[in-house]
Structure 1
Amino acid sequence: MNALQGVLFDLDGTLVDSEPLWFEVGRTVIERHGAVWTSDSSTKLLGVNLPKIGEALQRAVGRADLSGEYLLNEVVVEISGLLRSSVIWRPGAVSLLASLNAARVPVGLVTASYQPIVDAVRSHLPAGTFQTTVSGNDVSQGKPHPESYLLGAKRLGLEPERCVAIEDSPTGIASAEGAGCHVIGIPSQQPLPESPGRLILTSLEEIDLPLLQSRVG
């Protein structure tokens, strides 16, 4: 019997090469409000949940009249607009999603990004590619807390322990493993540490249905 019930994908850096957009738009917003972009700014925009990005933006701008929530909304609106126009997929992303859909394997999207960004990316895919999505708007505790992956599995009616999660960051991996999922890591902006039971690959192109089944079976 096939033990694999479903596959849960992260978005930024995993399916879509969007993390450079966060740096680009973050820089634009910070400099628009009179502050200076630094290397420390980019470090604080990587692999954290969106409220923390808002806090980092507010600290970088340093203006009491501009909240982190306000600055973050500027970033989300601009990124979602850019993604509506075009998406740079990570190699193998679209073909892997299509193959899972063809095999009728339940697929979910579990991301820290807010719903406008999710909707922008989904607009480039066939309807029904994801049977459920979990965005940062859906949870009270973002990654690395396991709430996102627990909710994704629940919405699909699946057991997390029989799902494979595909992630690109240590923060996302911690969230998926905390929920009990089997994890495949595909590094993007930072290296991923090896760990027992964790499979680290270089590209989504290396993943197929037999490999996913082998992680759970």
Structure 2
Amino acid sequence: MLFDMDGTLVDSEKLWDVALQELAAVYGGTLSDTARREIVGTGMADAMRIVHDDLGQPQRDPQASADWISARILDLFRTGLRWRPGALALLRAVRAAGIPTALVTSSGRPLVEVALDTLGRDSFDAVVCGDEVGEAKPHPEPYLTAAKLLGVPVERCVAIEDSPTGVASALAAGAAVLAVPAEVPLPPTDGVHQVESLTAADLELLAALLNR
């Protein structure tokens, strides 16, 4: 099992909304809804590029913006991280069944370490962070890396994602994909099974996705 984090397991996209709008305000602007949708599921470098372009300030240092966002989101994660509906129950069922499980996220390691206080450090056999791979989602590398760490062929893995970027990454890697939209609508996609909430997902569904 390969779980995305933001918007899939935890309702953290709202916290990113806060941090991103605060950064835009520091720069004297307001982040557009279109830019915010584009950011969902991207790595930090791409996210900062989108912010700067949306504000009409492409000359800004992306690393300085990333450092500001990282510090702010760490504070928000420590106090405001909440599970998505059905996510905790599904994760517990997967672990109780002894299924190898990885967290595959675009977030960086420092932020993930804070999130693991909520998610549980024993909930995953492997953790792949956005700052630990050469190519971020939608490239397949994050999911290919996770499958390799688990010692499981990626074709025998189910990836659970909430964003178009994450879905594209998992599909490109060759995993079966279960999509659960959060902040951004997901269009119907060949090879992707979509549910409104993880409350509708169980071990039987995951097995069925692998046997398609």
For normalisation by structure 2, the TM-score amounts to 0.92
Q: Report whether the alignment pairs 1:62 with 2:52.
A: no
Aligned-partner residue type, residue 105 of structure 1: I
1:185 pairs, out of 165, 172, 179, with 179
Structure 2: runs of 5+ lacking an equivalent:
none
Partner of 1:10: 4
User: Deviation above 3 Å: which 4+ runs of structure 1?
Assistant: 35-41
Partner of 1:133: 127
2:207 pairs, out of 178, 200, 213, with 213
Structure 1: runs of 5+ lacking an equivalent:
1-6
The offset of 1:126, in angstroms, is: 3.2
Where 2:137 maps in the other structure, the secondary structure is coil
Partner of 2:117: 123
Q: CA–CA distance in 2 between the matches of 1:185 and 1:40?
A: 21
Q: CA–CA distance in 1 between the matches of 2:124 and 2:190?
A: 29
2:45 pairs, out of 51, 56, 60, with 51
Is the alpha carbon distance of 1:127 and 1:144 closer, same or farther for their aligned partners in structure 2, counting shifts above 3 Å? closer
Where 2:6 maps in the other structure, the secondary structure is coil
Moved more, 71-80 or 172-181: 71-80
Cα RMSD, aligned residues only: 1.7
Q: Which has the higher helix share?
A: 2
Aligned-partner residue type, residue 209 of structure 1: L
Q: CA–CA distance in 2 between the matches of 1:38 and 1:170?
A: 19
For normalisation by structure 1, the TM-score amounts to 0.90
* Contact kept? 1:30, 1:61, Cα under 8 Å: no
Residues 78-112 of structure 1 deviation map (CA, whole Å, 9 limit, x = unaligned): 11221122312110111111111111111111111
Residue identity (%): 38
Aligned length: 210
Q: CA–CA distance in 1 between the matches of 2:175 and 2:34?
A: 32
2:154 pairs, out of 160, 185, 189, with 160
Mapping of residues 83-122 of structure 1, within 5 Å? 83-122=77-116
The offset of 1:40, in angstroms, is: 4.2
The offset of 1:8, in angstroms, is: 0.2
* Contact kept? 1:163, 1:216, Cα under 8 Å: yes
Q: CA–CA distance in 1 between the matches of 2:40 and 2:179?
A: 16
The offset of 1:33, in angstroms, is: 3.0
